[in-house]
Structure 1
Amino acid sequence: MDIAIFLCCFALLLFLFMRQPVFVAILGATAIYFLFHTELNSAFMVQRVIAGTQSIPLLAIPFFVCAGVFMNYTGVTKRIIDFCEALIGNVIGGIGHVTVLVATIMGGLSGSNLADAAMEAKMLVPEMRKRGFSNEFASVLVATAAIITPLIPPGIAMIIYGSIANVSIGKLFVAGIGPGLLLCVTLMILVAVISYKRGYTNKHPVDTSFKRVVKTFKGAFLPLCLPIVIIGGIRIGAFTPTEAGSVAIVYSLLLGIIYREMSFKNIMQGLKETVLTSASIMLIVGAASAFAWILTRERVPQYLTGLFIHHLNSGVLFLICVNLFLIFIGMFIESTAAMIILVPLLTPIAAHFGIDEIQFAMVVIFNFSIGVLSPPMGTLMFVTCSITKCPMLNFIKEAVPFYLLLVFCLILLTFVPVFTTGLVNLVY
C-alpha cells in the first residue's frame, strides 16, 4: 500500500467531518487517489461509479422504496396504529408499546428507517406527549424503534449487503425476523419498566375490547400480509427478491384501490419521493463502489485479513473487535457507504474463522443500525429531533438505557446464533 491510499482515507474522514454530503466526500477521496496515480485514466473512475449501480439485486431498492411510499398514502399507517392500540393500549406505557409495535410492523412495509422515524415522530410523539410522556423519552423511543426497520424484511440494508457479499437476499430476509422480534420484545420490556417508574399510564382508557380488536384487525389484515407474500413468494420460487419489489408496488397500489385513499396526485407525489430517495441511495452506492475498488486494488482486504489472522486466533475475539469497530465507524459514516466499503473487507475474514455468513450479516447490519442512532452524526437522531424539537443533549441523556439495551441485543446476536440462523435453518 502506498501513500495515496492513506491520503485518500484521510481526505474521506476530513470531508465527512466538514459535513459534506456522503457521496461528495467519497468521490472527493476517490478523485485524490486518481490524481496521485496518473497512469490510471480518470474516465475509469466514472466507469467504476456507474458499474457500482448496475447490479440487478440493487433494482429492489427503488421498488421497495416506492412500495413503502405508496403504503403511506393508502392510510395503512393509521390502520396499523389503531390495531396495535386495540391490542395493548391500556397496559402500563400503552402508547409507548404501540410505538414499538407499529415500528415492527411498518418495518416490514417501508424498508426505510428514516422514513419510519419521520412518520412516527409526526404521528405518535404528539400523542405520547398528550398522555404524559416526556418529549425526550418519546423522541428516543421513536428513534430507537426505527432501528427495527432495517432488520424486518424487506430492509434496504439486507438488499445492499446481499448484493455486495453475494449472500442470498431471501435468506437474509428470513434471518432478519429473529433480530427484529428480539429488539421489539426487549424494547417493550424497557418501556414497561421506565413507564412503571415514571408513572406513564393512560389517564383516559382506550377501547381494547375483543370487538374492537377484530374490527381493527380487519382494517390492518391486508397490509400485514405483505411480508408474508414477499418471503413466501421468494421461498417457493414464485419470484426473486428483486421481482418481489415490483410485487410490493402492485400490492400497495391494490390497497390504494381497495381503501379508496390514493389519488392520481398521490401516485405522482409518491413517484417523485421514490426518485429522490432512490437517487440519494444510489449516489452513495456508486461512489462507495469506486472507493471499494481502490481498496481492492491496493490489496487492503488481504492486508487486513493477514493482520487479523496474525494477531487474533479465534472467531470470538474477531467478532468482539468487529463490533467495537463497526459501532465506532457507524457514528461517523453513513451506514450504506460504510457497508459497501467494509463488507468486502470483513466477510473473507469471517469466513476464515468459520462464522456463518447469515449470522455475520445480521451482526454487521445491527451494528450499523446502532451507529445511525449514535452521536455525533447519527441520522436517526437528527431526523427525529428536528421533527419533535427535542434538544440534542437531552436526547442523548435520555437514550443511555436504550443504548445499553442495544448493546445487550448485539451481544445476544453475536454469540447466540439461534437468533439469526434459527428461522433460516427452519425455512430453508
Structure 2
Amino acid sequence: MAVGLSIGALLLLFFLGTPIAFSLFISTFLYFVIGSEQPIMLVIQRLSGGLESISLLAIPFFIMAGVFMNHSGITARLLRLAELMTRRFHGGLAQANVLLSTFMGGLSGSNIADAAMNSKLLVPSMTEKGYPKPFSSAITAASSLVTATIPPGIALIVYGYVNNVSIGRLFLAGVVPGVLMSIALMVMVSYLCRRHGHQPPNRTKATQHEWVSVTRAGIIALMLPLVVIGGIRIGVFTPTEAGAIAVLYSLIIGVFVYKEMGFGTIAFATRESLLASVNVLFIIAVASGFARFLTWQQVPQEIAMLLSSQVGSAMLFLLLANLILLVLGMFLEGNAILIVLSPLLAPVAAQFGIDPVHFGIIFILNASIGTITPPLGTVMFTTCSITGVKVPDFIRAVIPFWLVLVALLLLVTFVPALSLALPNWVF
C-alpha cells in the first residue's frame, strides 16, 4: 500500500507541474513515513549514497566544459561554419540551425541548453529572413534533440551510471544515430523550404580565404569530442577524467586561442556551471532514494516477471517499450523517465538478450522525443517561452519533424548495428 501511495503521489506531483527533484523527494519521504520500518535518517543516507560514485564527477565537468565553450565565442564561430556549409542548400539558415545543434552536441551536452541558446541566437535571424516564427521554433527544438545522443551528452552519462552500462561505449553508440538524426532533419527542412519557398539557395561561391579562416576557427572546437573519445579509447583517461580534460581544453581555447574569456567571464561561467550541475545531481540523489525503496519492495523484479511472461519476443518487447515511453513522454519530464523507468525496463531488456548499450540509445531517443511532445514537453516550453510562439502553433509546425524522429527511432530500434557497430569496432 505504501508503494502505491508513493507512486501515486509521484504521478500527481508530476501532473501538477512540481519540479522532478521535489516530486521524487516527497514521494520517497512519504514511503518512509507511511510504510517503512526503517528510520527516517535512512532517507538522507540513501540520498547522499546516490552521489558517492566517482563516475558522476563527469557530469559537472562536462557541464562546465559546455558552459565555458558557450562563453568563449565558439558558438558564433560554429554558426559561421554551419552557414558556410549550408549556403547552397534550400533553407540555408534553417539547415545551419540543424548543423549547429549537431556541432554543439559534442560541447553543450544538454538539449534544453542547446534549444535555449539557438532560440536566442538563430530564431530572430530566421525571422528576418522570412521564416515563420513557429517553423523556426519547431526546427530549433527538434534539432536540439541531436545533442542527447552526440557524445558527451549528459543523458548518456546518467543512463550509464543508473544502469551500470559502459559510458565509453554509450558515447560511441550515440554517434551514428545522432548523425542520422541530423541528416534526416536536414532532408525534411529542405523539403519544407522548397514547398513553402523559404530562403532559396545562395549560389555565390565562397572564396578560398573564407573557407580557410572559418573552417580553421570551427575545427579547433570540434576537436573536443575527438579528444574525449580518443583519450577514453586508448586508455589515457577514464570518462570522468575526460570531463576534466574537456574543462581544461575549453579554458585554453577561450583564454589563449580566441582570447574572449577574462577573469570576470570565467567567474560568471563557473557560477552558471555550478547551478546547472547542482540541479542535475540533486535529481540523481533523490532518484537514488526512490529507486532504493522500489528495489526493497521488489517492484523492478515484479515488472520484469510480468513483462517477460506476457511478451513472447524481443521485438514485441521493444515495440511495447517504445509505445510506453512515447506515451509517458507526453506527460512526464525526460529526466524523470530516464532515472525512474530505465532501472525497471533495462533488466527486462537484458532477459530478452537485448544489448544494454543498444537499449540505452533507444531509451534516450524516446526520452528526447518526449521533450518536444505536448502537453508537457520541456524543450517545447523552453523554446516557446523564449521565442513567444503559441504552443498550438508550435505543435502544428513540429509535427513533420516529430514524425521523422519517430521513424528514426524505429530504425535504430530494429537495426541494432546502427548503434552497436561503432562501439564494437572501437572497443
TM-score, normalising length from structure 1? 0.97
TM-aligned CA deviation for residue 111 of structure 1: 0.5
Deviations 1:198-238 (A, max 9, x none): 00124876663443222200111210100000000000000
User: Any conservation in 2 of the 1:351–1:357 contact (CA below 8 Å)?
Assistant: yes
Deviations 1:31-74 (A, max 9, x none): 11111125210110111111112211111110000000000111
Q: Please give the alpha-carbon distance, in whole angstroms, between the structure 2 residues aligned to 1:220 and 1:363.
A: 30
Q: Which residue of 2 aligns with 1:36?
A: 34
Deviations 1:84-141 (A, max 9, x none): 1111113111111100010000010110111111111111111111111110000000
Q: Which of 87, 91, 99 is matched with 1:93 structurally?
A: 91
SS at match of 2:107: helix
SS at match of 2:260: coil
Q: Please give the alpha-carbon distance, in whole angstroms, between the structure 2 residues aligned to 1:335 and 1:286.
A: 16
Q: Please give the alpha-carbon distance, in whole angstroms, between the structure 2 residues aligned to 1:210 and 1:383.
A: 39
Amino acid paired to 1:331 = M
Q: Please give the alpha-carbon distance, in whole angstroms, between the structure 1 residues aligned to 2:263 and 2:417.
A: 46
Q: Which residue of 2 aligns with 1:23?
A: 21
Q: Which residue of 2 aligns with 1:387?
A: 386
Q: Please give the alpha-carbon distance, in whole angstroms, between the structure 2 residues aligned to 1:253 and 1:167.
A: 30
**1:256 and 1:101, CA in 2 relative to 1: closer, same or farther beyond 3 A?**
same
Q: Which residue of 2 aligns with 1:376?
A: 375
Q: Which residue of 2 aligns with 1:183?
A: 181
Q: Which residue of 2 aligns with 1:13?
A: 11
Q: Which residue of 2 aligns with 1:107?
A: 105
Q: Please give the alpha-carbon distance, in whole angstroms, between the structure 2 residues aligned to 1:194 and 1:166.
A: 42
**1:26 and 1:267, CA in 2 relative to 1: closer, same or farther beyond 3 A?**
same
Q: Which residue of 2 aligns with 1:278?
A: 277
Q: Which residue of 2 aligns with 1:129?
A: 127
Q: Which of 29, 51, 56 is matched with 1:58 structurally?
A: 56
SS at match of 1:146: helix
Q: Which residue of 2 aligns with 1:269?
A: 268
1:291-306 superposed matches below 5 A: 291-306=290-305
Q: Please give the alpha-carbon distance, in whole angstroms, between the structure 2 residues aligned to 1:115 and 1:405.
A: 22
Amino acid paired to 1:296 = T
Deviations 1:294-323 (A, max 9, x none): 111110111111111111110001001100
Bigger mean CA deviation after superposition, 335-344 or 150-159: 335-344
User: Any conservation in 1 of the 2:87–2:201 contact (CA below 8 Å)?
Assistant: no
Q: Which residue of 1 aligns with 2:329?
A: 330
Q: Which of 251, 254, 267 is matched with 1:253 structurally?
A: 251
Q: Please give the alpha-carbon distance, in whole angstroms, between the structure 1 residues aligned to 2:333 and 2:243.
A: 24
User: Any conservation in 2 of the 1:89–1:208 contact (CA below 8 Å)?
Assistant: no
User: Any conservation in 1 of the 2:91–2:201 contact (CA below 8 Å)?
Assistant: no
Report sequence identity in percent. Answer: 44
Q: Please give the alpha-carbon distance, in whole angstroms, between the structure 2 residues aligned to 1:205 and 1:43.
A: 68
Bigger mean CA deviation after superposition, 417-426 or 136-145: 417-426
Deviations 1:327-373 (A, max 9, x none): 22222222223222222211111111111111111000000001111
SS at match of 1:110: coil
Q: Please give the alpha-carbon distance, in whole angstroms, between the structure 2 residues aligned to 1:250 and 1:203.
A: 39
User: Any conservation in 2 of the 1:87–1:213 contact (CA below 8 Å)?
Assistant: no
Q: Which residue of 2 aligns with 1:412?
A: 411
Tell me the number of residue pairs that the alignment of Structure 1 and Structure 2 aligns. 426
Q: Please give the alpha-carbon distance, in whole angstroms, between the structure 2 residues aligned to 1:70 and 1:47.
A: 33
**1:269 and 1:205, CA in 2 relative to 1: closer, same or farther beyond 3 A?**
farther
Q: Please give the alpha-carbon distance, in whole angstroms, between the structure 2 residues aligned to 1:359 and 1:153.
A: 15
User: Any conservation in 2 of the 1:118–1:383 contact (CA below 8 Å)?
Assistant: yes
Amino acid paired to 1:274 = S
Q: Please give the alpha-carbon distance, in whole angstroms, between the structure 2 residues aligned to 1:363 and 1:390.
A: 30
1:143-292 superposed matches below 5 A: 143-202=141-200, 208-257=206-255, 258-292=257-291
Q: Which residue of 2 aligns with 1:340?
A: 339
Q: Which residue of 2 aligns with 1:82?
A: 80
Q: Please give the alpha-carbon distance, in whole angstroms, between the structure 2 residues aligned to 1:49 and 1:328.
A: 29
Moved over 4 A (4+): 202-207
Q: Please give the alpha-carbon distance, in whole angstroms, between the structure 1 residues aligned to 2:105 and 2:208.
A: 26
TM-aligned CA deviation for residue 290 of structure 1: 0.7
Q: Which residue of 2 aligns with 1:321?
A: 320
Q: Which residue of 2 aligns with 1:364?
A: 363
Q: Please give the alpha-carbon distance, in whole angstroms, between the structure 1 residues aligned to 2:286 and 2:241.
A: 25
User: Any conservation in 1 of the 2:91–2:200 contact (CA below 8 Å)?
Assistant: yes
Q: Which residue of 2 aligns with 1:398?
A: 397
Amino acid paired to 1:333 = L
Amino acid paired to 1:364 = F
User: Any conservation in 1 of the 2:89–2:202 contact (CA below 8 Å)?
Assistant: no
Q: Please give the alpha-carbon distance, in whole angstroms, between the structure 2 residues aligned to 1:6 and 1:207.
A: 65
Q: Please give the alpha-carbon distance, in whole angstroms, between the structure 2 residues aligned to 1:90 and 1:129.
A: 19
TM-score, normalising length from structure 2? 0.97
RMSD: 1.3
Amino acid paired to 2:35 = H
